[in-house]
Every structure is written in C-alpha cells, then in structure tokens.
C-alpha cells in the first residue's frame, strides 16, 4: 500500500514529536548528520510514498528568529547544489493549524554544526537557518513533492553551549514541532491532489 506521506526526522526526539499528529503517514528516523542522511535517503527512496517531508530542528542564522519559530525551506543549499522545495502550500497549512511564527526562505545544509561567524556568513547569503541533513535527504524524493520544515532550536546569541538557553530553546522547539505535525498531512493531501489533477480535499 502506498503512503500519501513519508516524513523523515533526523532524531528520535523529533520523530516522537511529529508522529502522534500524523495520520496515514510513514515516519522514519534518519540519524543525525550528512552521512546518515545520505544512507537513509538510499534506503527510503524505494518505499511506496507520494510525498516526502523532512521535519526537525535547526539553528537560526539571525537574531530575527527565535527558538520555536518555524522555517519552511524555499530551497535547501548543500555542498552539491541547490534543491527547490514545495513551500507555498505548507505555509498556508501551518497557518491553518495555528502556527503563527513561520518564516519562508533558504536553509543551508552543512556536514558539521554551524556556529559563530559561519552563521553570520550564511545569513549574509540569505539563508534563514542551517541543518545537517536536508540536502542529503532530498534525493529520496526522486521527483515526488518535497518539503523541509524545521523548527528553530537555537540562535547565534542563544547557542546550545549555554545550558539555560539550551533548555528553554529545546522546550519551545519540541512543542512547536509537535503542534505542526498535522500541517504536514494537509500539505501532502493538497500537493498530491494537485499533481493528480483532482479537486483539493474538502475540510
């Protein structure tokens, strides 16, 4: 049986946050980092699904964002190039489930934790956030609708090396990730229906 949606999360904690709010979706954990993400992409690509979403945490590149904010990727930028993402429908879906602080823009992907001045360089290039998996998971979509939705865990001034910031940021990010899960289902329903030329689901 083909699943409407496959959601890949790097961490077990992220998987636990989203899976309870999804219906009829496959949810798998890739593991953290580029190598594990690339391996997971090869594993999940043959699975029977119609749309792929990557969901999890990210680091903001600018102080304009704060822990718990949602970043929807317009594109993911990795060492091997740029991958466009489905974005407009998922922004609307997030609004529909009551997520207010949503930012649309590029996400930069690196094979290491991005800190300090490097975040500033990415911000200067227009990236809103950084992660370590999305660019390597993108090939698993293999022509199917692909989206990346990340929740800000920390910012340049509120880094994970500062324990109070780490705790408060993690709580805010986890709560938002749990709340946004139904929007992933709505996105998949809409984009798959659009590709099939069918009327959008009535809600």
- What CATH code is carried by the domain that includes residue 173? 3.40.50.1580
The structural domain count of the chain equals: 1
Q: pTM for this structure?
A: 0.91
Q: In angstroms, rounded to a whole number, what is the distance separating the alpha carbons of residues 29 and 36? A: 10
Q: What percent of the chain has pLDDT over 70?
A: 92
Around Cβ 3, how many Cβ atoms within 10 Å? 16
Residue 91 in domain: yes
- Backbone φ and ψ of 80, nearest 5°: -100, 5
Q: For 111-160, how does the pLDDT look when each residue is reduced to its tens digit (9 = 90+)?
A: 999 988 899 999 999 999 999 999 999 999 999 999 999 999 998 876 55
- Report yes or no on 201 lying in a domain: no
When computed from its CA atoms, the radius of gyration of the chain, rounded to whole angstroms, is 16
User: Within 13 Å, how many C-alpha atoms sit on residue 198's CB side?
Assistant: 9
- pLDDT score, position 162: 54
Q: Where are the beta strands (DSSP E) in 4-60?
A: 5-9, 25-29, 52-60
Does residue 203 lie in a domain region? no
Residue 202 lies in a domain: no
Range of the domain at 113: 5-196
């Amino acid at each position: 049986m083909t699943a409407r949606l496959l959601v890949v999360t790097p961490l077990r904690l992220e998987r636990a946050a989203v899976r309870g709010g999804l219906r009829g979706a496959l949810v798998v954990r890739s593991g953290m980092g580029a190598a594990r993400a690339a391996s997971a992409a090869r594993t999940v690509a043959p699975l029977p699904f119609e749309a792929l979403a990557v969901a999890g945490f990210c680091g903001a590149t600018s102080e304009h964002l704060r822990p718990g904010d949602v970043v929807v990727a317009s594109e993911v930028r990795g060492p091997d190039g740029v991958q466009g993402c489905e974005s407009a429908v998922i922004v609307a879906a997030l609004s529909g489930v009551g997520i207010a602080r949503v930012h649309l823009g590029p996400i930069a992907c690196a094979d290491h934790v991005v800190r300090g001045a490097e975040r500033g360089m990415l911000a200067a290039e227009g990236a809103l956030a950084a992660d370590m998996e999305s660019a390597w998971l993108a090939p698993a979509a293999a022509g199917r609708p692909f989206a990346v939705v990340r929740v800000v865990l920390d910012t340049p001034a509120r880094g994970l090396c500062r324990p109070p910031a780490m705790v408060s940021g993690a709580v805010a990010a986890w709560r938002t990730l749990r709340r946004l899960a139904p929007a992933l289902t709505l996105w998949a329903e809409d984009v798959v229906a659009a590709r099939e030329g069918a009327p959008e689901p009535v809600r």
